[in-house]
Amino acid sequence: MLKGKKIIVGITGGIAAYKIPLLIRLLKKEGAEVQVIMTPFAKEFVTPLTLSVVSEKPVLSDYYVKDDGSWHSHVELGLWADAFLLAPLTANTMAKMAAGIADNFLLTVVLSARCPVFFAPTMDLDMFQHPTVQQNIQQLIRLGYHYIEPAEGELASGLKGKGRMKEPEVLLEALTRFFSGERAFAGKKVMVTAGPTHEPIDPVRFIGNSSSGKMGWAIARAFARQGADVRLIMGPTDIQTDFPGIQTLSVTTAAEMEKACKQVFPETDIAVMAAAVADFTPAETASEKIKKANGPDVIHLKPTADILAGLGKMKRKDQILAGFALETEQELEHAKEKLKKKNLDLIVLNSLRDKGAGFGTDTNKITVITADEMVKTYPLKTKDAVAEDILSVIKNLMEK
């Protein structure tokens, strides 16, 4: 998969830099062309000589060569690369990347890169957990960078926790996986729903739920990365849905979501319904704010349309329709019932009994059930990794 691929490996000043020569060996063995760029501080951890020997190219760190005045073009390098991997990535360089700062050569190439960028942050556990570090990771994910989560284990400080760089073999796998799946959904039109719906009681109050939209957002990004043309139908959330290949339609109520879905669905090849749609909406919405003195004791509700079931009825043979099931008991039976009743090709089951699964978290634990009765349970993973798993099931269904 990596044969002939041009890869920039950006190294910053972390102790895990000593593992990068091994990574470069692995990349070269796969047939990749590797250009190393280091920050000045990274040279304290691994020498440019070692890196240039294994990569078979001079290592870059400065804008120009002091003696002869020749200079390195960050723009050309940014255009040259098929992928850019930053490993190990320190909290310092990551913060600069998140803020668009370009005060060394490596950072200017990051800003010039048009290729996919992968980043593997590495640091001590308390630094890693600091809210600013976590915010910067989220910011880079929002920018479309591929996050390679650090591993848990023994750290250079002697402490144990999350912050170790993933081993070179795993970093290689991340790149290989990306290039192998790269075009899997090219030319496909995909619809994804995400987030909650808000059902208005009056102009200022609503009935809603605590869906963050993160799962649907991760699915939409995973499809876009693999070449799909994505329409994301998104209920009210805080997510900034700016991402290449994704067109977002913002909706508020279940009725608006239904209208948008019915319009978009006939033109789609694949639809994944991850939104937490309200099952009920107020029977009447007051046109003015309800005053405390006139407050009703009871709010009458009426059911909303089941959007997914509606699409199940419209579905053509050439379309793939996936739903979610959020359950708290008899999970598998309920999910299987929903799969049949709503005429789905697959259903993704979340159990609220699993720690780290469901609303608001950055992780999820799923079981996927297909119409041909394949049942597969996955371990707890980040929502991005869960999205990749869902896509690989859909890819298998497409090939059948």
Stretch that binds ligand CTP, among 8-16, 144-152, 206-214, 318-326 (CB under 6 A): 318-326
> Per rule CB under 6 A, is residue 91 in the interface with ligand CTP?
no
Determine the angle formed by the axes of helices 254-264 and 307-314, rounding to 10 degrees: 20
Residues of span 231-270 touching ligand CTP by CB under 6 A: 254
Question: Which listed residue (8, 273, 321, 346) binds ligand CTP by CB under 6 A?
Answer: 273
Question: Which listed residue (11, 215, 307, 394) binds ligand CTP by CB under 6 A?
Answer: 307
List, in sequence order, every beta strand (DSSP E) within 83-145.
83-89, 117-121
> Per rule CB under 6 A, is residue 279 in the interface with ligand CTP?
yes
Residue with smaller CB distance to ligand CTP, 174 or 207? 207
Interacting residues of 315 by C-beta distance below 8 A, sequence separation 6+: 321, 343
Residue with smaller CB distance to ligand CTP, 282 or 323? 323
d(CA 180, CA 162): 28
Question: Which listed residue (105, 185, 217, 324) binds ligand CTP by CB under 6 A?
Answer: 324
Shortest CB 346 distance to ligand CTP, Å: 11
Closest CA to 57 of 35, 28, 25: 35
Question: Which listed residue (308, 321, 346, 366) binds ligand CTP by CB under 6 A?
Answer: 308
> Per rule CB under 6 A, is residue 306 in the interface with ligand CTP?
yes
Strands 301-303 and 280-282: antiparallel
d(CA 358, CA 368): 15
Residues of span 173-192 touching ligand CTP by CB under 6 A: none
d(CA 164, CA 145): 19
Residue with smaller CB distance to ligand CTP, 49 or 352? 352
Read off the tokens for 255: 């009725």
Interacting residues of 256 by C-beta distance below 8 A, sequence separation 6+: 197
> Per rule CB under 6 A, is residue 202 in the interface with ligand CTP?
no
> Per rule CB under 6 A, is residue 13 in the interface with ligand CTP?
no
> Per rule CB under 6 A, is residue 325 in the interface with ligand CTP?
yes
- 153 in Cβ contact with 125 (< 8 Å): no
Residue with smaller CB distance to ligand CTP, 39 or 350? 350
d(CA 64, CA 351): 56
d(CA 183, CA 261): 25
> Per rule CB under 6 A, is residue 149 in the interface with ligand CTP?
no
What CA dihedral angle connects 128, 129, 135 and 137, to 10 degrees? 40
Stretch that binds ligand CTP, among 31-39, 52-60, 70-78, 301-309 (CB under 6 A): 301-309
- 184 in Cβ contact with 227 (< 8 Å): yes
> Per rule CB under 6 A, is residue 275 in the interface with ligand CTP?
yes
> Per rule CB under 6 A, is residue 304 in the interface with ligand CTP?
yes
Catalytic residue among 92, 209, 364, 396: 209
Read off the tokens for 79: 């255009």
Residue 209 annotated to the active site: yes
Question: Which listed residue (277, 369, 386, 393) binds ligand CTP by CB under 6 A?
Answer: 277
Containing 180, the helix (H) or strand (E) segment is helix 168-181
Shortest CB 259 distance to ligand CTP, Å: 13
Question: Which listed residue (13, 282, 323, 358) binds ligand CTP by CB under 6 A?
Answer: 323
d(CA 168, CA 25): 10
Shortest CB 350 distance to ligand CTP, Å: 8
d(CA 387, CA 224): 12
How many chain residues are in contact with ligand CTP, going by CB under 6 A?
15
Residue with smaller CB distance to ligand CTP, 174 or 301? 301
- Sole residue written with tokens 């994804």: 192
Q: Which residues are catalytic?
A: 209
Residues that bind ligand CTP (CB under 6 A): 193, 254, 273, 275, 277, 279, 304, 306-308, 323-326, 338
